[in-house]
Amino acid sequence: MRQKTVRRRLAATLAMLVAISGLALASPASAAPGDTGDDGEGAPKTLIQQLEAASKGFVEAKEALERSRKRQTELAAKLKELDKQIAPRQAALDDIIQQSYRTGRLGPMSALLAAQGSEGFLDRAETLETIAVKENAAVASLKTTRDAQQAAKVAIDTEVRNEQKQVALMAKRKVQAESALKAANTGGDDKTGEDAPQSSDKAVSSSSKQKAGAAPRNSDGSLPSESCSEPDPTTSGCLSPRTLNALKQAQADGFTRFVACFREQNSGEHPKGKACDFAADKNGFGGVATGASKTYGTNLANYFINNADRLGVLYVIWFERIWLPSSGWKAYTRGNGDPSSDHTNHVHLSMR
């Protein structure tokens, strides 16, 4: 009897172990981004390409618009200064003309013949030369100013047309990005928008408001073209200088948890060295972020958004949402149902 009881207990224990083993097999550990068969951004290649083109085009048009408006301001100030110069230079020329009229100015030969004696002849010749020099200088000065004034007006008109062109292009790129999301059934306005929850931890939430060190720009304010030329400190791959700067700036401002940047895949910015995945958990890509881990991810996403212009951000993905320069936060739900492709365990950063 006792032997049967022991056997029943052993059988029950064995069944429990088998059940536990089955559960363990049915619940695999969270995969890292890119390990689930997608390209790490949780969306088809065509959608990623559309978002890249639309976001890049929008930001470039926005920067061109800002340069155009700055140029218009400079030209308007120059035109105002030229307008001030016109009146006194016109008055100076008028004075010379009136002086010539009052002295009964004749032709040069008549004036010389009317001179009395050799000394008078020389004095009259010198006077004629002085008047001619002054008059020519006044005419040249006035003409130069008027030419510059006209050139400034033409340049302003050109910049106004350029501004209108860039505004239209920005609108077109915005539609392109949002249409691509809708076509992929990921679109729709995200009601949380840019007012994502902020951390109650002041030490962390203040980091999201830090001003990052700006990426180097060309003399006209545009971003230089870059390749995957710098060693990636998070993998054995490479990064663009701009991406490396964004990584270092985020770490310097307190976002020091696990990061993985370069990787080989079929689309997106990772194989170009222009993207990084920032884990929400301290030690790597875990399950769906909650509590302090989710707060960390939210603050990091906000950090990149707040510094988008300074760093050269293309877009940010976090917790089934994507932030686009043209549209702000949008729903982004084309993942495979796991934390990595759904971006619920890491913040994805794509750079220009």
Q: How far apart are CA 343 and CA 222, in angstroms?
A: 31
- The predicted pLDDT at position 253 comes to 95
Q: Which residues contact 273 (CB under 8 A, 6 or more apart)?
A: 227, 228, 229, 230, 232, 237, 238, 239, 240, 243, 261, 262
- Tell me the pLDDT band of 99, cut-offs 50, 70 and 90: low
Supply 159's token pair: 């910049």
pLDDT value of position 144: 85
**Res. 36 pLDDT band, cuts 50 70 90:** low
Give the pLDDT of residue 116. Answer: 54
Least Cα distance to 328 among 342, 313, 343 occurs for 313
Predicted pLDDT of residue 110? 53
Alpha carbon distances (Å) from 277 to 8, 193, 236, 281, 344:
51, 21, 15, 12, 11
Contact 343, 318 (CB under 8 A): yes
Higher per-residue pLDDT: 44 or 311: 311
What is the rounded distance in angstroms from the CA atom of residue 277 to the CA atom of residue 344?
11
Higher pLDDT: 346 or 170? It is 346
Write the pLDDT tens digit of every residue in 186-234.
Answer: 555 554 444 444 444 454 467 788 999 999 999 988 999 999 999 999 9
- Average pLDDT on 319-323 reads 93
The residue-averaged pLDDT of 50-63 equals 83
Give the position of tokens 């989710």.
294
The residue among 25 and 259 whose pLDDT is bigger is 259
Backbone φ and ψ for 147, nearest 5 degrees, come out as: -65, -45
Following DSSP, what letter does each residue of 194-260 receive, concatenated? T-PPPPS-HHHHGGGG--PPPPP--TTSPPPP--S-EE-TTSSSEE-HHHHHHHHHHHHTT--S-EE
pLDDT value for 25: 30
Could you say which DSSP state residue 216 is in? P
Does the pLDDT at position 53 exceed 60? yes
Report the C-alpha gap between 84 and 349 in whole angstroms.
51
* pLDDT (tens digit per residue) in 248-282: 999 999 999 999 999 998 888 999 999 999 999 99
pLDDT for 174 equals 84
Distance, in Å, from the CA atom of 278 to the CA atom of 319, rounded to the nearest integer, reads 12
Task: Give me the chain's average pLDDT, please.
Answer: 78
29 pLDDT above the threshold of 50: no
Which pLDDT score is estimated for 40? 52
Give the torsion sign (CA, 190, 164, 311, 213): negative
The answer to whether 44 and 334 have CB atoms below 8 angstroms apart is yes
Confidence band, pLDDT 50/70/90 cuts, at residue 289? very high
Whether residue 17 is predicted with pLDDT greater than 60 in this model: the reply is no
The one-letter amino acid code at 66 reads E
- Per-residue pLDDT of 323-337, as tens digits, reads 999 999 998 876 678
User: Which residue has better confidence, 21 or 69?
Assistant: 69
- Position 208 scores a pLDDT of 82
pLDDT in the model for residue 49: 80
Q: What per-residue confidence (pLDDT) applies to 212?
A: 95
Residue pair 323/288 in contact by the 8 Å Cβ criterion? no
**CA–CA gap between residue 181 and residue 42 (Å, rounded):** 12
- Other CB atoms closer than 10 Å to residue 317's CB: what's the count? 25
Task: Look at 73 and 120; give whichever has higher pLDDT.
Answer: 73
User: 262 burial class (0-12, 13-18, 19+ CB within 10 angstroms)?
Assistant: buried
> For residue 184, what are the contacts with CB-CB under 8 A and spacing of at least 6?
43, 44, 47, 334
Q: How many CB atoms are closer than 10 A to CB 121? A: 15
Predicted local confidence at residue 227, as pLDDT: 97
Specify whether the CB–CB gap between 319 and 343 falls below 8 A: yes
Residue 14: helix, strand or coil by DSSP?
A: helix
Token representation of residue 269? 């910015």
Q: Which residue has the higher pLDDT, 128 or 205?
A: 205
Token code pair at residue 340: 């990595």
pLDDT value of position 134: 67
Tell me the mean pLDDT in the region 16-22. 41
